[in-house]
């Protein structure tokens, strides 16, 4: 079990501040509304600030010596003491994982931040559409001799639109909607912007539980085999950065120090021996300078 990397007083202070959270009330096909209520809408207000602190100490710390934790999969599987409301996100994660192929030697996770959203009724702006189309072309040749298994995407309209454009380029690949990929503030970062110092602890735990659920959906060791698999995960900046920090066993409060623009590519490789590598972060070489956007 990991130890907290932040001093106890500092960590508790982070969770006694107030912030605005973002949530999604959309539901994926095949999951009950009762189960999703605790995830997408974030009905976790009953969890106390003390419980949040305890869970944060357990989930987001790292070993003091900073050595690679070999048994990271056991740490993620340990649900002892997790409140039922938060454990619900892990149930959803297990269901979503069924779309992936475990019998491979290497898993390639391709995270894509959605294209630039539209200010109007359209899902993506004109630039966002161009971004998504160019990203789709690049993904078609991203990994040699590896077939894409599934495209996961959040419930947000801009993520759905980006995923559909990518699917056209990748051919016969399944689309899977995940409420766990919703945007939010999974952890108050360090340094923390002024706006993030006004979040209530109850709001933060909802975002954290979804992000931890997303981590458990995608971060697991393949069983081994002669072939490799690839999955695309179309999501949002905060959750992508948080999941990558956690996957690499970095201090996750550093997530805001990473920056990835719209329709950029981040690539994690997970091997059957448990090694996790970051092959690329925020790759934008496929996007002309005049259509690179961040906000």
Sheet with 148-153, strands from edge to edge, namely: 174-177, 148-153, 228-235, 106-113, 265-271, 276-283
* DSSP symbols for 50-91: HHHHHHHHHHS---TT----TTHHHHHH--TT--HHHHHHHH
Helix, strand, coil % over all residues of the chain, rounded to 5: 40, 15, 45
pLDDT tens-digit series, residues 229-285: 999 999 999 999 999 999 999 999 999 999 999 999 999 999 999 999 999 999 999
**Lookup result for tokens 């999604």:** 24
Buried b (16+ CB within 10 A) or exposed e, 91-128: bbbeebeebbbeebebbbbbbbbbbbbbeeeebbbebb
Query: Higher pLDDT residue, 222 or 5?
Result: 222
Measured CA angle at 140 (ends 135, 145), to 5 deg: 145
pLDDT tens-digit series, residues 52-109: 666 666 665 554 457 899 999 998 888 887 877 788 999 999 999 999 999 999 999 9
Between the alpha carbon of residue 246 and those of residues 213, 254, 276, the distances in Å are 12, 10, 11
Q: What is the pLDDT of residue 200?
A: 75
Q: What's the mean pLDDT in 157-167?
A: 98
Q: What is the pLDDT of residue 161?
A: 98
Q: Is 70 exposed, middle or buried (0-12, 13-18, 19+ CB in 10 A)?
A: exposed
Buried b (16+ CB within 10 A) or exposed e, 205-230: bbbbbbbbbbbbbbbbbbeeeeebbb
**Domain range list for the chain:** 8-291
Query: Higher pLDDT residue, 37 or 213?
Result: 213
Structure tokens at 63: 């070993």
* Collapsed DSSP state (helix, strand, coil) of residue 223: coil
Q: What's the mean pLDDT in 2-20?
A: 37
pLDDT, mean over the chain:
82
CA distance linking residue 125 with residue 211, whole number of Å = 27
Structure tokens at 237: 């900046």
Structure tokens at 273: 């021996």
Class in CATH terms, 8-291: alpha beta
Rg of the chain, C-alpha, whole Å: 18
Q: What percent of the chain has pLDDT over 90?
A: 61
Between the alpha carbon of residue 62 and those of residues 69, 96, 129, 218, 279, the distances in Å are 9, 27, 39, 20, 22
């Amino acid at each position: 079990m990991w130890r907290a990397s932040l001093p106890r007083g500092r960590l508790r202070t982070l969770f006694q501040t107030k912030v605005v959270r973002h949530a999604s009330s959309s539901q994926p096909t095949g999951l009950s509304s009762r189960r999703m209520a605790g995830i997408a809408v974030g009905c976790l207000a009953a969890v106390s600030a003390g419980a949040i602190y305890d869970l944060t100490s357990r989930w987001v710390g790292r070993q003091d010596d900073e050595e690679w934790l070999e048994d990271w999969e056991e740490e993620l599987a340990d649900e002892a003491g997790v409140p039922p409301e938060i454990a619900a996100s892990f149930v959803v994660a297990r269901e979503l994982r069924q779309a992936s192929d475990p019998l491979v030697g290497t898993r390639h996770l391709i995270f894509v931040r959605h294209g630039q959203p539209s200010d109007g009724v359209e899902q993506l702006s004109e630039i966002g559409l161009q971004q998504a189309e160019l990203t789709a072309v690049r993904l078609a040749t991203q990994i040699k001799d590896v077939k894409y298994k599934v495209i996961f995407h959040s419930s947000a309209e801009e993520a759905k639109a980006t995923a559909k454009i990518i699917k056209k380029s990748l051919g016969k690949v399944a689309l899977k909607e995940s409420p766990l990929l919703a945007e939010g503030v999974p952890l108050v970062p360090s340094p923390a912007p002024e706006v993030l110092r006004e979040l209530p602890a109850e709001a933060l735990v909802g975002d954290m539980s979804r992000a931890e659920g997303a981590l458990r959906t995608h971060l697991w060791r393949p069983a081994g085999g002669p072939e490799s698999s690839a999955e695309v995960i179309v999501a949002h900046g905060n959750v992508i950065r948080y999941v990558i920090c956690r996957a690499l066993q970095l201090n996750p409060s550093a997530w805001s120090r990473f920056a990835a623009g719209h329709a950029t590519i981040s690539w994690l490789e997970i091997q059957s021996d448990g090694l996790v590598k970051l092959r690329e972060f925020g790759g934008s070489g496929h996007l002309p300078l005049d259509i690179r956007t961040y906000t």
